[in-house]
Amino acid sequence: MWRFLFRNLRGSRVIVGFAVSLTFIQVAADILTAFPLKFILDKVVHHIDPVVPVVGGLLSRLDPLGTRNGLNDNEVHTQMGVLLFSTVLLLGLSVISAVLSYIQVLIAARVGSRLSNRLRDRLFDHLQHLSLDWHGRQRTGDLVQRITGNILDVEKLVTDGLVDLLAGILTLVGILIVMLLLNWRFTVLCMVIVPALFFSVLRYTLAIKRANKVKAKAAAQVAEVATEDIGAITEVKAFTLEEREAEHFRRYSTRLWAASWRSGRLQAEFTPIVAILIAASSATIISVGGWIAAGHGHTFGIGPFFIADGTVTTGALTIFLSYSKQLYQPMRNLSKLMNLASGAAAGAARIDEVLDQAPEVKEAPVAYTGPDRVHGDVVFRNVVFGYNEDQPVLTGIDLKVPSGRRVALVGLSGSGKTTLVKLIPRFYEVWDGSITVDGVDVRNYPLETLRRNVSLVLQDSVLFEGTIRENIALGREDATDEEIITAARLAHIHDQIDVLPNGYASQVREQGKNFSSGQRQRLAIARAILRDAPILILDEPTANLDVEAEAEVMRAIDRLVVGRTVLMISHRLSTLGNVDEIVVLQKGRIVERGTYTMLKKMGGVFAGLLEEQSRYSAERLARRGRIVVAAPSPARAVVDAAGPLAPAPPSPPRQLGAILDDLRATVDEAFAQGNRRGGGRRGEHANGNGNGNGHTNGHGNGHGGGVATLEGRVPGAWRSRRGVDRMAAEVAAALDSDADDPPASVLRRLRDR
């Protein structure tokens, strides 16, 4: 603990040394306050003049105020002079002690607050530089407890206990020295009880320290559980888990109560023991000291040890009585201070545990001399990585992403997609192989330079407390208002910001809870646009969004990806129509690569994922019966299939996402059947007898009066997402429908955009 304080008090050691020197003076003044009463009693009872080496001249000046009536011939000072001198001395020593105490407390408060502020900043800064791997093994509540509670324990020791602890030790030593100088034999008699007291202090101090360590750990667990449950309050209410979580919290709270009770019980046991030992010492001083001070030839002896008559005066007896309380009072204080010190020691150990962790990655030994902005050529060469030893998550990854190319990473959950992209900004270090950007190993870039060239838009974008402007300008604090507004316009969020009462100065609440998911995503996209990094990582940017929000976010992404190297992770395969290449991962390996059309025709893993996603689409369900695909009424696009007619339930607006997927699959199937059955070719009309006919520049007529047109200028473009969206818009425009039909109204809005 003391090494911890010495190490972290750098810059404050001089002022702490000054406070320590003042403590010596204050303790001396407190010890000497017992002497004025001794001087008076010895003068009146025993006719003994006080001997004062430093301020004796003052006593001589006060002698004329009294008379020599009743004095012996060998007495120099008058009783009135001694009385007045003792009074002045007592007042002077008390004032000195009070002033020094004020200065000490002031210094302690300043040093303590400064120490806690420095520790808090240092610990928080160090936490930000620790690896994601380390953070993944920690609990948020426990880390918060280290930053707040444990540092507060250290501050309390410095502010409230450090001066008292030092003063207590000095008081014990000083009193013992004075008592030995007065009468060493009587001092030995008074000190007989000290070994028992020392043993009690040692035993209980160690027990209290252990109890406080358990208490600190239990407090961290309570903070951790509370943080987790409060952060998930929506889920708790949604699943009616209030009672379950209350019981869960109660278990940890009970453990904290038990630990606190044990610590308090030990403290409660210790204090009476100290009081009983003090009482025994006082009784010894009064009985034996009074017997000796009374004179009349009384002596006290135990075996060879004895105290002779006249060796203890009445004044000396009062000093021993006064010191008995001053001697043991510091020990009583130490019993309380040890509780504070043990808590601070436990907190210091937990703080050091974090500070001893090595930073996330090591900087390159050779200075980087390349450009600050890269082009964006990313190459993975035989990369192997895992989170746990002997359990690789990625194996043999070889992937080249040229500058400006858009690559999508797909695969089942746990296949390593997110892990792969997190290796680019060196959130983790690869086990084997290498990752290069513009031909330079990422380990040779300074972290700041590397990460400045990478922007991330995650599934759950985080907004920080502050203003909207500050959130968009993250990483570009020097950005002008014009640049911020331009980025917001490109992200299709400016109009929604502009209608807020304070505009870009509007406050963002904790984690952006006062914004919808789509708005948070577009604010994150505006942030990425303003950052203008050449490498862009999109990790499920449209997950958990409704259809309208997804459309807005995709429009913003279309602006964001222009001219950048893009790696996009998505489980929603319908969003991958505008990528240049799709990379399929399975169990940490790349198993397929190619374009959307190529991979679908291969019938491999990607085709299986497509098939799985369309399990409940119209294309699959059409094999079971007659499926009515929601299209603007009164005319409906109908798919014929063998089997009984299935009723067509009305589709509410919240099912629009499924309806659009059905429409895409149905139109795709209709055109495919038209080509097969009608023999349609490029440049000529073909009439199919199925759901419609289709070709590159043709028209398809289907049963039910629905008309579908497609003007594809690029072969195969009708399979892309944009082609399907245009087709949906044309269907909405071609068919007359009631204004009250929700799918039709939304399709018209899609067409209008």
| CATH number of 210's domain | 1.20.1560.10
Q: Which two three-digit tokens encode residue 240?
A: 């009616």
Q: Is 364 inside any structural domain?
A: no
Q: Is 363 inside any structural domain?
A: no
CATH of the domain at 574: 3.40.50.300
Length of the chain measured in residues: 753
Residue with tokens 């996209």: 525
Q: Is 362 inside any structural domain?
A: no
Note whether 648 and 602 are same-domain residues. no
**Out of 31-40, 563-572, 705-714, 728-737, least confident range:** 705-714
C-alpha span between 223 and 63 (Å, rounded): 69
Q: Is 485 inside any structural domain?
A: yes
C-alpha span between 501 and 65 (Å, rounded): 83
**What stretches of 417-531 show up as alpha helix (H) in DSSP?**
417-422, 447-452, 468-472, 481-490, 494-498, 517-531
Note whether 623 and 587 are same-domain residues. no
Q: To 5 degrees, how large is the angle CA 41–CA 45–CA 48?
A: 75
The domain boundary, picked from 611, 634, 659, lies at 611
Print the domain residue range for 579.
378-611
Note whether 607 and 618 are same-domain residues. no
C-alpha span between 278 and 271 (Å, rounded): 11
Query: pLDDT by residue (tens digit) across 179-219?
Result: 888 888 888 887 777 778 778 877 887 788 788 888 888 88
Greatest extent of the chain over all pairs of C-alpha atoms, in Å: 146
Could you give the angle at which helices 13-32 and 314-355 cross, rounded to 10 degrees?
A: 160
Note whether 586 and 687 are same-domain residues. no
Q: Which amino acid is at 187?
A: T
Note whether 149 and 164 are same-domain residues. yes
C-alpha span between 61 and 52 (Å, rounded): 13
**What is the average pLDDT score of the chain?**
77
Query: pLDDT by residue (tens digit) across 20-68?
Result: 889 899 999 989 898 888 888 888 887 888 888 777 788 888 888 888 7
**Cβ partners under 8 Å of residue 555, min gap 6:** 492, 753
Note whether 641 and 593 are same-domain residues. no
The domain boundary, picked from 611, 634, 658, lies at 611
C-alpha span between 605 and 153 (Å, rounded): 57
Q: What is the DSSP string of 636-667?
A: -EEE--SSPBPP-----GGGHHHHHHHHHHHH
Q: Is 102 inside any structural domain?
A: yes
Burial of 109 (0-12, 13-18, 19+ CB in 10 A): middle
Note whether 392 and 528 are same-domain residues. yes
- What band does 304 get if pLDDT is binned at 50, 70 and 90? low
**Cβ partners under 8 Å of residue 447, min gap 6:** 361, 363, 426
Note whether 107 and 185 are same-domain residues. yes
Q: Is 367 inside any structural domain?
A: no
The predicted pLDDT at position 666 comes to 56
The predicted pLDDT at position 511 comes to 73
Q: Is 564 inside any structural domain?
A: yes
Note whether 215 and 297 are same-domain residues. yes
Note whether 572 and 431 are same-domain residues. yes
Count of domains in the chain? 3
Contact 73, 61 (CB under 8 A): no
The predicted pLDDT at position 207 comes to 84
Contact 585, 602 (CB under 8 A): no
Note whether 584 and 697 are same-domain residues. no
Query: pLDDT by residue (tens digit) across 410-454?
Result: 988 888 998 999 999 988 889 999 999 999 999 889 888 898 899
Note whether 596 and 568 are same-domain residues. yes
Q: Is 366 inside any structural domain?
A: no
- Tally the C-alpha atoms within 13 A of residue 691's C-alpha that lie toward its C-beta: 23
The domain boundary, picked from 568, 595, 611, lies at 611
- Report residue 307: phi and psi, to 5°: -120, 120
C-alpha span between 20 and 27 (Å, rounded): 11
- Report residue 537: phi and psi, to 5°: -115, 120
